[in-house]
């Protein structure tokens, strides 16, 4: 059986893989995509996942499977990545407040003999955020390092509902890619 490598520093992706029963090593990539206004959000997320995966794969020697992913939040084609600071996070959260957006995770599975890429999209509707909830969430600093400046799992009343894969919103759509991972590891 091949060895699985997670090309991500995300503690959420790590936990999802652990909860699914996988044993793996983590090797991170510093390849981050620059958000532009031309590339559609789904293609951007896939491109970033491929770049991270190929970067890590190029550093390996042996029979490995590299799993990489990149998650973005999108509203009407506009990409919301990780906030640059508190003001940026506040702007993003105010934009999402009371609206529906897409959470798109692009992923890449790479081995010597196979390559698979794809995306999973979940629609998320935010509650209308009160100033109190907004300030409390910003003060918690839980928004740091998260696409769209939030985590559905953070325990705050941000999300009214979602349609699709919960784990995708957290950062890794394990139900969608589990069979593929197993096939790659054979």
User: Rounded to an integer, what distance in angstroms lies between the CA atom of residue 173 and that of residue 178?
Assistant: 8
Domain count, the chain: 1
47-89 pLDDT, tens digit per residue, is 999 999 999 999 998 899 999 999 999 999 999 999 999 999 9
Tokens (6 digits) for 20: 């699914």
Catalytic entry in 70, 88, 95, 139: 70
154-177 pLDDT, tens digit per residue, is 999 999 999 999 999 999 999 999
- Beta strands (DSSP E) in the chain are 3-6, 25-26, 64-75, 78-80, 100-110, 115-126, 159-163
Q: What angle do CA 152, 154, 155 make, to 5 degrees?
A: 100
Q: Which CATH number does the domain housing residue 149 bear?
A: 3.90.950.10
User: Rounded to an integer, what distance in angstroms lies between the CA atom of residue 182 and that of residue 185?
Assistant: 5
* Residue 52 contacts residue 68 (beta carbons within 8 Å): yes
User: Rounded to an integer, what distance in angstroms lies between the CA atom of residue 105 and that of residue 119?
Assistant: 5
Number of neighbouring beta carbons within 10 Å of residue 42: 18
The pLDDT score that the predictor gives to residue 133 is 98
User: Rounded to an integer, what distance in angstroms lies between the CA atom of residue 78 and that of residue 34?
Assistant: 13
User: Rounded to an integer, what distance in angstroms lies between the CA atom of residue 52 and that of residue 108?
Assistant: 9
* pTM for this prediction: 0.94
Range of the domain at 154: 3-185
Q: Is 61 a catalytic residue?
A: no
Residue 17 pLDDT level (bands cut at 50, 70, 90): very high
């Amino acid at each position: 059986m091949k060895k699985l490598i997670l090309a991500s520093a995300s503690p959420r992706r790590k936990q999802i893989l652990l909860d699914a029963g996988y044993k793996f090593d983590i090797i991170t990539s510093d390849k981050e995509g620059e958000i532009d206004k031309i590339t559609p959000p789904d293609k951007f997320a896939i491109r970033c996942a491929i770049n991270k995966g190929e970067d890590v794969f190029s550093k390996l020697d042996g029979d490995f499977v590299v799993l990489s992913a990149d998650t973005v939040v999108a509203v009407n084609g506009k990409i919301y990545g990780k906030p640059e600071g508190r003001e940026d996070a506040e702007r993003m959260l105010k934009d999402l407040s009371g609206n529906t957006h897409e959470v798109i995770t692009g992923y890449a599975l790479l081995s010597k003999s196979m390559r698979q890429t794809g995306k999973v999209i979940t629609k998320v509707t935010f509650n209308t955020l009160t100033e109190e909830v907004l300030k409390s969430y910003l003060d918690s600093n839980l928004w740091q390092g998260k696409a769209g400046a939030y985590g559905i799992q953070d325990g705050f009343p941000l999300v009214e509902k979602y349609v699709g894969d919960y784990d995708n919103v957290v950062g890794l759509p394990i139900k969608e890619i589990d069979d593929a991972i197993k096939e790659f590891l054979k």
